[in-house]
Amino acid sequence: MGLFYFLGQKKFYLQLLIAMVLTLVLIWGVFKFLAVFTHHGEVYLVPNFSGQTLPALKQKGFDQYFDLMVIDSVYDVRHAPGSIVMQNPLPGSKVKIGRHVYLTIVAKMPEMVDMPDLRNLSLRQALVLLEGRGLNVKNLQYVNYFAKNAIVDQLYEGEPVETGTMIRKGMAIGLVVGKGNHPVPVPLPFLIGKKMKEAHAALYYSSLNVGKEYFLDGNDTTHARVYKTEPSFNSHSLLDMGSPVNIWYRSDENFNFKNYIQQIRADTTQQDSVQIQKNQTQTP
């Protein structure tokens, strides 16, 4: 009987066939189990949870599809306590069932922070410190003082506030700032397309104030972006320090800011070219 005698036996091939079929069935079963376990192909669009509360989401059954997790809380007088103000993944994202959705809600009690000492700091340093403490800027009040953009005083509700005073997070601090011995006008920053918070910061860092604000598409600040300003922007805009800049906002959900900004920049470049040619013509 040879070493490979079994190769001539029908029984061997029958057992080999059975083994192959069982292997294929096992592989199919493993992949089927993994597909069921990982919910392969099952995706859900994440709704917009903004303004709702966690108990309300659970009552509606959203916790059966997503693992809702509160990871942070902020105090915001513009929204109801306990309401959701931020989420990750964002609304409209495609996720599998059971995916974590991280939520930031409005705190029921305001967080208190101690007032930093801003006096004699530069305006830029003061703005950074306030942002780090979660405090906002109310306005910049420029006064005669030899050091340009140096903080002369700090105000809370119109009155000087001492260092270490406990203040509710999110409150606005007024800054009294020095003009310097030889104050000069400052350029207006390009604000078009910026979010409200970004526009405010850009103005303050440029030694300017926020004037009146208008929301053309409702008061949803989440999607509001700067549509126009008064004075309007051009590359030669110069304003006195502390001047107010009025801002109009539109929602980025129904307005194409990318094309709008490109058009404004093109128009500005063209105006600059015309001005240069005009100056060259007038030069003797």
Band of pLDDT at residue 279, cut at 50, 70 and 90: low
Which of residues 148, 183, 218 is at a domain's end?
183
> How many structural domains compose the chain?
3
Residue 218, sorted as left (phi over 0), alpha (psi -120 to 50) or beta, turns out to be left
Tokens representing 224 are: 């509001």
Determine the pLDDT at residue 37.
55
Same domain, 193 and 264: yes
CATH code, domain carrying 87: 3.30.10.20
d(CA 268, CA 272): 6
Same domain, 191 and 269: yes
d(CA 112, CA 154): 18
- Give domain status of residue 161, yes or no: yes
Give the count of beta carbons closer than 10 Å to the beta carbon of residue 92. 9
Q: What is the pLDDT of residues 11-36, one digit of tens each?
A: 766 777 787 888 887 887 766 665 55
Q: What is the pLDDT of residues 133-162, one digit of tens each?
A: 999 999 999 999 999 999 999 999 999 999
Same domain, 128 and 206: no
Which of residues 122, 150, 183 is at a domain's end?
183
- Give domain status of residue 14, yes or no: no
Same domain, 135 and 72: no
144 to 154, 161, 162, 177: CA distances (angstroms): 16, 20, 22, 9
Tokens representing 113 are: 């922070």
Same domain, 86 and 117: no
Q: Residue 143: which of 183, 115, 116, 172 has the closest Cα? A: 183
Say which residue, 33 or 43, is predicted with more confidence. Answer: 43
Q: Does the pLDDT value for residue 40 go beyond 70?
A: no
Q: Which domain holds residue 175?
A: 110-183
Which of residues 140, 161, 183 is at a domain's end?
183
- Give domain status of residue 211, yes or no: yes
- Give domain status of residue 261, yes or no: yes
- Give domain status of residue 248, yes or no: yes
